[in-house]
Amino acid sequence: MNKTFLSVALAVLSLPAFGQEVKSRSIAPASSAAVSPVSVARKAAAPKLVSAKKALSSETSASWILEYGERVDVFSEDFSKMTTGSIGDPDINTNIILDNPDYPWTNVDPAYTDQPGWGAWAAYPADGTVAIFDEDGIDEYAHINTPMLDLSANDGVAVLEFRARTHRRNNSTLIIEASETYHMSPTWKIMEEAYSEFDVTPEWQTYQFVFRGCESSTIFNIVPQSFPSIYIDDLKVFQVKPYIGMPKSLPHSDYTGTSFTANWEPVAGADYYLVNVKAYNDEFQQWDEFIDEAKVEGTSFVVPEIQSGLEYSYTVYAVKDGHTSLPSDEVFVVDLESPTMGETSLTADGYHAEWSAVPTADVYNYWAFNERVATQDGTFKVTNCNFDNVVLADGSEPTMNIGDEPNVFDDTYVYGVDQAGWHATNYMPFVGGFVAVDAYFYIYQSDQSGIISPALDLSKNGGKIDLSLKLMGELIAWWDEQGKKHENVVQCAVALFNYDEKTGDYTQAELIYPGDIQQQWGTYTAHLTKGSKQSKIGIFAVSMPGYLYIDDVLITQQYKSGESLVEPFLFKRYYDNTALDVAVPERVKYQHLYHEVSAVKADNLINIGNIVESKFSERQSVKAVEAGISAPSLKDAAVVLRGNALSVANPAGAAVEVFTADGRRLASDCSGAASVSVPVSGSGAYIVRVGEKTFKIAF
């Protein structure tokens, strides 16, 4: 059985309390080859329902949208090949589902439809219509979805139309959903709210739903919420070729607490734009007009005289030759001013940081960074996470073992690793120094299940990146309708996300499956080629509803001597003060240090349960540390033999190379680690170079 998307509500995060929630799996069957949506660094804007109307005929319905342009028919299906059965007695003995579909969303035998690529469950022929049928009650998997449709033209606005009825006196209820599948990739965009507030009656009636935000592989999903059976016929999808294009909203900018700037992309041929701004009236709990149709010739508008902490929204219309476009997506402005960093001072083990308080902020996010410099050309370890010292958010040791009752944290960070700021969803650290993410919530709740790196400069060497990691997948078993047992292992997807200055968000640049994950540990590699100045790498669990176990994540790039990486060594999430004592680890004490902070509050109005984070303060050098601690020199380096390994003391973080007496290089380490161990075997002489200093060891 295959889960319809979004028919299980997403888990509500405990973000207003700034905590983390532990989630357990509820009872649900495994899914065969399910490829369900997963979000990326942030949720992208999904296809959005604009309106839903019931009309007497297709000619009279949705007439309002035809005011904006000319109708363009895209897709139609009359189900005329579903010839058997009848209204009230669908042919439940005819199986329209393929035995081995590529995806559950394209599992309908094309012999039963005019257009291939349909998906369905509990759907049967009924005299030239399709019945979504369950005699015994509600089948939570019952649905029918369209093929993937290219709706990227005409501003991505599309109209879904179909006729529907029941066969008894009872009314029924339908949910209509939409999602951009990116051609069945693991990173779908899903409409966050499905429409479910209309009844289907025993008489045929025509329904139309107007969506925006559609792209090149969008599907629509029809899901019954109550029975008797529902019959669908004469399904059409059309668009409107606009007289003037709809502006594309961009995030607001330059928020100061007294003003902000509304932004949008230009529309070809537009004479000018109209900007509408609303302000939320907390006393009367309603949106009031703040600015009505301000005429603007450019693509930005400074909204003045706002009140810090209040919520605002704006939409933009393009105007050409008297024609007005559809409004842009509404942008909600729920923002905070950026904090200002204060002076730092030395403490016994680090430094004391302070920053300004921000009106309406609840808590703060604090980041501290170190800068590692390559001392020679060659392989540079950008990330080296072995998870040996991983802990829970409160600093306690992991207690989970393989085989324990499944539990994960819904939204947290990976704590106890040197490179701070790895964001984790549906994640749990395990006893033994490894971590896991649970694809159950990816499959059944369309929720991201993975770990994502902090933002890093991955532009070196033309953006080429090498990733190595150890992986093991949980074996999942399920039984089909014929009672045949199937087994498969949870798989892994690796994605690269790059920051888009225009949208203020991360977008997926590459997606790679690193190999066939097995039920035992194995080492896998991925090679990425599109790294940027501000990138993140995500490691996701996909394909089956179980654990993906992760260890020894190594990200490398080829560096030139003198190139450097700024990486976080400390991240304090939801910190409830404006001052912090930072303990500086030995490994970074003699490097350049920086820090920044953002203000955070709960969004209890627009997106309840979400959080709002201000822009970061200007990143500053930690001058107290620079002034108070002098960097060591290469004279402090030393090499000794410990057992069967050369132990190199490297307080300056220089490049370390080990050669045999005949000049053959045995090892090279450019990680900047203060201590390096190189295994050797047999007696003889070895040359160890630490930066520009050379040692000769013989035994």
User: How many CB atoms neighbour CB 263 within 10 A?
Assistant: 23
Helix, strand or coil, per DSSP, at residue 567: strand
Check whether residue 363 and residue 469 sit in a common domain: yes
The pLDDT assigned to 696 comes to 83
Rg of the chain's alpha carbons, rounded to an integer?
Answer: 29
The pLDDT assigned to 139 comes to 59
- Phi first, then psi: give them for residue 649, nearest 5 degrees: -80, 120
Residue 138: CATH number of its domain: 2.60.120.260
End of a domain among 606, 627, 648?
627
Domain count, the chain: 4
Check whether residue 285 and residue 359 sit in a common domain: no
Check whether residue 89 and residue 233 sit in a common domain: yes
Res 6 pLDDT > 70:
no
Classify residue 8: in a domain, yes or no.
Answer: no
Mean pLDDT of the chain: 85
For 616-666, the DSSP string reads PPPPEE-HHHHHH-PPP-GGG-EEEEETTEEEEE-TT---EEEEETTS-EE
Query: Would you place residue 697 in the very low, low, confident or very high pLDDT band (cuts 50, 70, 90)?
Result: confident
The pLDDT assigned to 480 comes to 63
Query: Would you place residue 168 in the very low, low, confident or very high pLDDT band (cuts 50, 70, 90)?
Result: confident
Classify residue 35: in a domain, yes or no.
Answer: no
For 310-359, the DSSP string reads --EEEEEEEEETTEEPPPPPPEEE---PPP-B---EE-SSEEEEEB---T
Mean pLDDT of 492-512: 91
Classify residue 331: in a domain, yes or no.
Answer: no
Given the structure tokens 């965009």, which residue do they identify? 189
What confidence tens digit (pLDDT) does each residue in 356-387 have? 999 889 999 999 999 998 888 999 999 999 99
What confidence tens digit (pLDDT) does each residue in 542-575 have? 998 999 999 999 999 999 988 999 999 999 999 9
Q: How many residues does the chain have?
A: 699
Residue 304: CATH number of its domain: 2.60.40.10
Check whether residue 567 and residue 651 sit in a common domain: no
Two tokens at 101? 């579909």
What confidence tens digit (pLDDT) does each residue in 259-304 have? 999 999 999 999 999 999 999 988 888 999 999 999 999 999 999 9
Q: Nearest-CA neighbor of 372 among 646, 129, 575, 653? A: 653
Res 606 pLDDT > 50:
yes
The pLDDT assigned to 530 comes to 97
Strand ranges, E, within 400-521: 408-413, 423-430, 434-438, 450-452, 465-473, 475-479, 485-489, 491-500, 505-512
Res 506 pLDDT > 50:
yes
Cα 603 to Cα 311: distance, rounded to the nearest angstrom: 10
Classify residue 595: in a domain, yes or no.
Answer: yes
Check whether residue 186 and residue 274 sit in a common domain: no
Q: Which residue has the higher pLDDT, 570 or 167?
A: 570
Q: Nearest-CA neighbor of 430 among 467, 403, 394, 469? A: 403
Q: Nearest-CA neighbor of 409 among 419, 420, 418, 396? A: 396
Classify residue 23: in a domain, yes or no.
Answer: no
Mean pLDDT of 135-158: 85
Check whether residue 193 and residue 255 sit in a common domain: no
Going by the DSSP 8-state scheme, the letter that residue 393 receives in this structure is T
Give 689's Cβ-side CA count (13 Å radius). 18
- Phi first, then psi: give them for residue 460, nearest 5 degrees: -60, 150
Q: What is the identity of the amino acid at 674?
A: A
Query: Would you place residue 228 in the very low, low, confident or very high pLDDT band (cuts 50, 70, 90)?
Result: low
Classify residue 22: in a domain, yes or no.
Answer: no
Query: Would you place residue 16 in the very low, low, confident or very high pLDDT band (cuts 50, 70, 90)?
Result: very low
Res 540 pLDDT > 50:
yes
Check whether residue 587 and residue 647 sit in a common domain: no
Say what the pTM is.
0.65
Query: Would you place residue 609 in the very low, low, confident or very high pLDDT band (cuts 50, 70, 90)?
Result: low
Check whether residue 416 and residue 290 sit in a common domain: no
The pLDDT assigned to 25 comes to 67
Q: Which residue has the higher pLDDT, 187 or 75?
A: 75
Contact 491, 544 (CB under 8 A): yes
The pLDDT assigned to 195 comes to 58
Contact 669, 639 (CB under 8 A): no
Check whether residue 405 and residue 445 sit in a common domain: yes
Q: Which residue has the higher pLDDT, 189 or 416?
A: 416
Percent of the chain whose predicted confidence (pLDDT) is above 90: 58
What confidence tens digit (pLDDT) does each residue in 189-215 have? 876 545 556 788 889 999 888 888 899
Cα 570 to Cα 597: distance, rounded to the nearest angstrom: 12
Classify residue 34: in a domain, yes or no.
Answer: no
Cα 49 to Cα 51: distance, rounded to the nearest angstrom: 6
Mean pLDDT of 504-519: 93
Query: Would you place residue 229 in the very low, low, confident or very high pLDDT band (cuts 50, 70, 90)?
Result: confident
Residue 642: CATH number of its domain: 2.60.40
Classify residue 492: in a domain, yes or no.
Answer: yes
Buried/exposed code over 202-237 (b: 16+ C-beta within 10 A; e: otherwise): eeebbbbbbbbbbbebbbbbbbbbebbbbbbbbbbb
Check whether residue 161 and residue 209 sit in a common domain: yes
Cα 408 to Cα 468: distance, rounded to the nearest angstrom: 24
What confidence tens digit (pLDDT) does each residue in 33-85 have? 332 222 332 223 344 444 443 333 333 345 678 888 999 999 999 999 999 99
Give, in order, the Cα–Cα distances in Å from 271 to each of 235, 244, 277.
Answer: 37, 10, 20
Cα 84 to Cα 181: distance, rounded to the nearest angstrom: 32
Cα 623 to Cα 391: distance, rounded to the nearest angstrom: 31
Check whether residue 548 and residue 671 sit in a common domain: no
Two tokens at 479? 């039984």
Check whether residue 673 and residue 542 sit in a common domain: no
Going by the DSSP 8-state scheme, the letter that residue 13 receives in this structure is P
Cα 346 to Cα 351: distance, rounded to the nearest angstrom: 4
Can you give the residue range of the structural domain that contains 621? Answer: 345-627
